[in-house]
Amino acid sequence: MMAFIQEDFTYQDLFSENTYLQDVVSHYAPQQYQKNISDDLAKFSKRVCSDVLAMSQKAEREEPVWVPYDPWGKKIDDILMSDGWLDLHRVSAEEGIVATAYERKSGEYSRFHQLLKLMLFHPSSAYYSCPLAMTDGATRVLELCQEQGPKDLALPHLLSRDPDVFWTAGQWMTEKTGGSDLSRTETVAELENGTYRLYGQKWFTSAITANITMTLARTIDPESGKEGLTLFFVRIRDDKGQLNNIDVLRLKEKLGTRAMPTAELELKGCEATMIGGHGKGVKNIATVLNISRMYNAVCATGVMYRLHSLSRDYATKREAFGKAIGQHPLHVNTLFDTQTIVNASVHLISELAVLMGKVEVGEATEEESHILRIMIPVAKLWTGKRAVSVVSELIESFGGAGYIEDTGLPIYLRDTQVLSIWEGTTNILSLDALRALSKPGIFESLRKNLGMRVSSFPTNFSAEKQILNSLLTQCDQWLEGCGQKRSLLEAGGRQFTFVLAHIYCTVLLVEFAAKTQKTRDRVMAQRFCHNIEAPDFIEDQAYLDLARETLFS
C-alpha cells in the first residue's frame, strides 16, 4: 500500500490568469495607457512565478556573508552575496522597476504602472524591493535638488535599465539613539578643506551593498552659527571598490528579510555632499520617506495577494472530512474575509499611486496633494498592520504545512513583520497623520472628498452609505471634542487612522463595483464595509492617567 502524498500548491500567474488586476488597470488608467501597462504586467507576471521566483529562493537559501579582513589582515569589509541576489539586481534593472516611474511613458499614470509591477515583484524579490525603495526615494530627491554634481553623477545610474550600469541607493537614518526620532541624531558633518566629512554610527542600514546613500548629519551654519540637521549624499565605495572611510561593525541577525544584508556602520570621515541646504534635512528626507512608505504599502499588498493565491489553490487540493477544505463553509468565509482586505489594499495603493504620479508631473490639484499627504502614512500603517494579521491567518490556512520550513511558507510570516516596523511603526505613523491634520486645509480636503464620493454611492449601496456617513460624523465629533487636548488626540490616533483607512477603502471598493457591475465586486465591497469595527475613541483624560499609573507606577 502506497503512502499518501499531498499535492503541492502552485504559484499562479497573478495577472494573466486572474481578471481582477486586469479590471484594476482598466479602472484606474485611461484607455490610451491600458495596453502598454497591461502587456508589461502580463509579461512580467509570468516571470515572477518562474525564473524570478527561483532567483529569490536561491537568495534566501544563501544568506549574505561579511568578510571583515583579507588573508593578510587588511580591513576590506566585503559582503558576499548569493548569485540569486545578484540576478535579482539584473531583473530590477532590466524590468525598470525604478525607471518605469521616471521614464513616464504612461504620463502621470507611470507611478501606477510601476507600483503595480512592484506589487507583483515583491513576493519573489527576496526583499530586493527594499533597496529599490531607497533607490527610488534617492532618485526623486536628486531629480528635485539643485546640486548638479550628485545629480549628474548618480541619476544616469539610478534610472538605467542596463544591469551593469544600474545603481542602488541606501537611506541611513537609524542610530543607537533612535529611528523615528530624528532629533536625536548624533552623526556630525565637519567641513574639512572645503569637503564635508561625516562622523558617527548608523545602527541599522539595509543597503551596505548599495552604491550611494542619503543620510542625515548635524551641521553648523557658517554664517549664523546655528546647528541643524542636514541631508547628505554619500558615495559608499570608490571606483576601485574601496569603502569611503566607512567601517562595517557587524551584520544584523534579523527575524526575517535575511537575504538582504543589514549592517551596523561607523562613519569615520566619509566624504559627503550637502543636499538641499543647511538645516533642511528633515524636510528633504521626507521625499525619500514618502516613496519608501508607498513601497511598504505596495509590498504589504503584494505579499497578501501572493499568499492568498497560494491558499486558495491549496484549498482545492487538500481534503479533510471527506471533501476539499475549500468546500467547507467556514474555510470559505475565512478566505473571503481576507480577500476583502487584500482587494481593499490593491485599490488603496492604486489610487495613491495615481495621485503620486499626478503630483510628480505637476498635474495634481491642491485637494489631491492634501489627500496624498495624509493618506500615505495611513496607507503604510494600515496595509503593514493588515499584512501581519492576514499573512498569519493565511499561514494557518495551510495547517501544519504552514509551519514547515521547506514548504517555503514560514518565511512569509517572518518577513512580513518588518512591514509594520520599517519606515515608522503603526503608532509613529498615526502621529504623522495627526500632524498632517494640523496643517491648513488638509483634513478639510479629505473630508470634502470623501463626503462627496459617499453621497454619490449607487442606490444598491445605501446601507454602506449610511455606515460611512456615521463613521465620518464620529470622526468629526471626536476631532472637535479633542480640541487642543493633545493627549486625547494622540491616544486616539491609531483608531482614527484605521477608521480613515476603512472609510477610504470602502469608497474605492464601491466605486470599482459600480463601474464593473460584477456581483463579485459588489459583495466584496459590502462585506468589507460591514466588517468595519466602530471606533471607541478615548475621550476622558482620567482614563489615560489611570492607564499610565497602572502600567508604569
- Do 338 and 321 lie in one domain? The reply is yes
- Do 450 and 326 lie in one domain? The reply is yes
Place of cell 530590477: 92
CATH code of the domain containing 444: 1.20.140.10
- Do 314 and 275 lie in one domain? The reply is no
- Indicate whether 425 belongs to any domain: yes
User: Of 265, 280, 295, at which residue does a domain stop?
Assistant: 280
Percent of the chain topping pLDDT 90: 92
Residue 513's domain comprises 281-553
Element (H, E) at 243: none
The band of 294, judged by pLDDT with boundaries at 50, 70 and 90, is very high
Average pLDDT on 121-133 reads 98
Element (H, E) at 213: strand 212-220
Q: How far apart are CA 107 and CA 294, in angstroms?
A: 19
- Indicate whether 391 belongs to any domain: yes
- Indicate whether 252 belongs to any domain: yes
- Do 374 and 250 lie in one domain? The reply is no
Average pLDDT on 141-169 reads 98
Q: Treating both helix axes as pointing N-terminal to C-terminal, what angle do 493-516 and 19-28 enclose, rounded to 10 degrees?
A: 100
Q: How many domains does the chain have?
A: 2
- Do 330 and 451 lie in one domain? The reply is yes
- Do 382 and 474 lie in one domain? The reply is yes
- Indicate whether 118 belongs to any domain: no
- Indicate whether 109 belongs to any domain: no
Which pLDDT score, from 0 to 100, does residue 210 have? Answer: 97
- Do 539 and 520 lie in one domain? The reply is yes
The band of 179, judged by pLDDT with boundaries at 50, 70 and 90, is confident
Which pLDDT score, from 0 to 100, does residue 2 have? Answer: 73
Q: How far apart are CA 286 and CA 270, in angstroms?
A: 23
Which pLDDT score, from 0 to 100, does residue 225 have? Answer: 83
Which pLDDT score, from 0 to 100, does residue 263 have? Answer: 97
Residue 405 pLDDT exceeds 80: yes
Take residue 7 and report the three cell numbers written for it. 499535492
The band of 206, judged by pLDDT with boundaries at 50, 70 and 90, is confident
- Do 213 and 322 lie in one domain? The reply is no
How confident is the model over 460-484, as pLDDT tens digits? 999 999 999 999 999 999 999 988 7
Which pLDDT score, from 0 to 100, does residue 13 have? Answer: 96
Q: How far apart are CA 271 and CA 273, in angstroms?
A: 7
CATH code of the domain containing 239: 2.40.110.20
Query: At residue 249, what is the residue type?
Result: L
Average pLDDT on 262-273 reads 98
The band of 1, judged by pLDDT with boundaries at 50, 70 and 90, is low
- Do 295 and 216 lie in one domain? The reply is no
Quick count: other Cβ atoms within 10 Å of Cβ 61? 11
How confident is the model over 38-91, as pLDDT tens digits? 999 999 999 999 999 999 999 999 999 999 999 999 999 999 999 999 999 999
- Do 435 and 337 lie in one domain? The reply is yes
- Indicate whether 323 belongs to any domain: yes
- Indicate whether 34 belongs to any domain: no
Residue 209 pLDDT exceeds 80: yes
Which pTM does this prediction carry? Answer: 0.97
Is the separation of the CB atoms in 136 and 98 below 8 Å? Answer: yes
Residue 160 pLDDT exceeds 80: yes
- Indicate whether 450 belongs to any domain: yes
- Do 343 and 425 lie in one domain? The reply is yes
240: phi then psi, degrees, rounded to nearest 5: -95, 0
Closest CA to 123 of 259, 27, 25, 6: 259
Closest CA to 18 of 330, 346, 325: 346
Place of cell 483624560: 541
> Which residues lie below 8 Å from residue 3, measured CB to CB, with a gap of 6+?
none
Dihedral (Cα; 224, 180, 159, 119), 10-degree rounding: -160
Q: How far apart are CA 118 and CA 310, in angstroms?
A: 19
Q: How far apart are CA 166 and CA 447, in angstroms?
A: 42
Which pLDDT score, from 0 to 100, does residue 183 have? Answer: 87
User: Of 238, 256, 280, at which residue does a domain stop?
Assistant: 280
Least confidently predicted of 34-43, 91-100, 179-188: 179-188
What is the 3 state secondary structure string of 374-416?
Answer: HHHHHHHHHHHHHHHHHHHHHHHCCHHHHHCHHHCCHHHHHHH
Element (H, E) at 258: none
- Do 461 and 502 lie in one domain? The reply is yes
Q: How far apart are CA 528 and CA 512, in angstroms?
A: 13
Average pLDDT on 289-306 reads 98
User: Of 258, 280, 302, at which residue does a domain stop?
Assistant: 280
Residue 107 pLDDT exceeds 90: yes
Percent of the chain topping pLDDT 70: 100
How much is the mean pLDDT over the chain? 96
Which pLDDT score, from 0 to 100, does residue 364 have? Answer: 98
In total, the chain counts a number of residues equal to 553
